[in-house]
Amino acid sequence: MSDKAILELNGERFEFPLVIGTENEVAIDIKTLRAQTGAVTLDPGYKNTGSCESSITFLNGEKGELRYRGYSIDDLAENASFIQTAYLLIFGEFPTSEQLAKFEADIKAHSEVDSRLLQIVDSFPNSAHPMGILSSVTSALLAFNPSSVDVDSDEDMYKAVVSIMGKFPILVAYAQRKITNQSYVASDSNLDYIENICSMMFKSSGEPYVQNPVIVAALNKLLILHADHEQNCSTSTVRIVGSSHAGLYASISAGISALWGPLHGGANQAVLEMLQAISDDGGDTKKYMAKAKDKNDPFRLMGFGHRVYKNFDPRARIIKKAADEVLADLGVSDPILDIAKGLEKEALEDQYFVDRKLYPNVDFYSGIIYRAMGIPVEMFTVMFALGRLPGWIAQWKEMRSRKEPIGRPRQIYTGDTLRKL
């Protein structure tokens, strides 16, 4: 391959260098395009635009590959804990046992939040969406932890990381307890990260909480699978907000708002809402399969297909197994889950879905697991945020460490030219 791209514009020839990634992805470096030619590129949705160089996550949608720092998602889901994966994403290397022990202890040391922050959660109406609560109180964390982070200091960066890793699950758990009208359960430093999340979310007050290893293992996998997905909407938001040198809490808070939408993290909630609607309509899955295939009907099977993964979603394969294990262990009898299983079977055997390579995606199975665990449907996207936290931190840290410039896209103005009143 040549090492440059040639552009011809108004009879003039311009040369732009190529950037080749370690997995041989090719980019045309147009940093000097406007200065050289006076023109800009137009790419709404940025589907052809690399916004940064990154060494965190590699994704190949055609081949169904996802790797964090070079390790395959299958390897990590099978052999690593969420905290090991978080360390890997944020600091670039799999932790040694000493690094891991210190990381876990330091996170535990930060696993508390100012009681006034909990009062802020309390002052929301019970009907508030927990993503709105989470975004607000994550931003509010700064008010109660105002020391600024010197991004050139490894120590400062490390402190910021363990602080948000410790505090975030508390906010997540309290958002759930708020919307389900339950009192707050404090973090327990005798438990590991995932067990502590389960205890804070599910413990009935006054009663001991018995951990279920199947649920702990499934949650560990789910959080690993969601931990990063390169430059998606929420991650790009975190990077662009951080590029103005807004702090980590503010940047993560913005990422939570971006994740909230049904076209992004809200898809797992949409899956369960669809299953509920099918159930309310008599549970006839065949009728809804026919609707999904009917070109005159806007209905789509939520949780099927993926914009990037065109053959299969590697995360879905892993999580399907975990879903089967959780359902078998809990022995839940739930008509909604029966509908999900029915749709999954019918779609996998249906020529329309086979021809278009439409497979259940990670959101299809994550919603099923969360429902079986007894997590309210509004919390599903919050659980996605809990998993995505290390990815957002890693991307923010990388962007600040590389001293990336402030994000400032251009536009092509199409409004009125100068008018007079």
- Specify the residue, 115 or 351, whose C-beta has the smaller distance to ligand ACO: 351
Residue 46 gets which letter from DSSP? G
- Specify the residue, 138 or 366, whose C-beta has the smaller distance to ligand ACO: 366
**Which alpha helices (DSSP H) does 49-114 contain, by range?**
73-79, 82-91, 97-109
Strand partners, 67: 58, 72
Residues with Cβ within 8 Å of residue 392, at least 6 apart in sequence: 234, 235, 238, 251, 252, 255
One of 306, 329, 355, 416 is an active-site residue; which one?
Answer: 306
Query: Is 110 a known active-site residue?
Result: no
- Specify the residue, 82 or 380, whose C-beta has the smaller distance to ligand ACO: 380
How far, in Å, CA of 326 to CA of 343, rounded? Answer: 19
- Specify the residue, 250 or 301, whose C-beta has the smaller distance to ligand ACO: 301
Q: In the complex, which residues of this chain contact ligand ACO (CB under 6 A)?
A: 264, 267, 292, 300-307, 356, 358, 361, 363
CB of 56 to ligand ACO, least distance (A): 18
CB of 374 to ligand ACO, least distance (A): 23
Report how far Cα 349 is from the mean position of its chain's Cα atoms. Answer: 30
Strand partners, 304: 360
One of 129, 226, 228, 363 is an active-site residue; which one?
Answer: 363
Query: Is 306 a known active-site residue?
Result: yes
Task: Give the residue among 223, 253, 246, 227 at the shortest CA–CA distance from 399.
Answer: 246
- Specify the residue, 191 or 270, whose C-beta has the smaller distance to ligand ACO: 270
How far, in Å, CA of 337 to CA of 288, rounded? Answer: 16
- Specify the residue, 203 or 371, whose C-beta has the smaller distance to ligand ACO: 371
Contact 271, 303 (CB under 8 A): yes
Of all residues in this chain, which one has the CB nearest to ligand ACO in the complex?
305
- Specify the residue, 315 or 400, whose C-beta has the smaller distance to ligand ACO: 315
How far, in Å, CA of 239 to CA of 373, rounded? Answer: 33
Distances in Å between the Cα of 189 and the Cα atoms of 13, 67, 369 are 64, 31, 26
Q: How many CB atoms lie within 10 A of CB 314?
A: 22
How far, in Å, CA of 407 to CA of 410, rounded? Answer: 10
Residue-wise over 163-189: b if at least 16 C-beta within 10 A, else e?
bbbbbbbbbbbbbbbbbeebeebebee
CA atoms within 13 A on the CB side of 28: 13
Strand partners, 383: none
Catalytic residues, by residue number, are: 306, 363
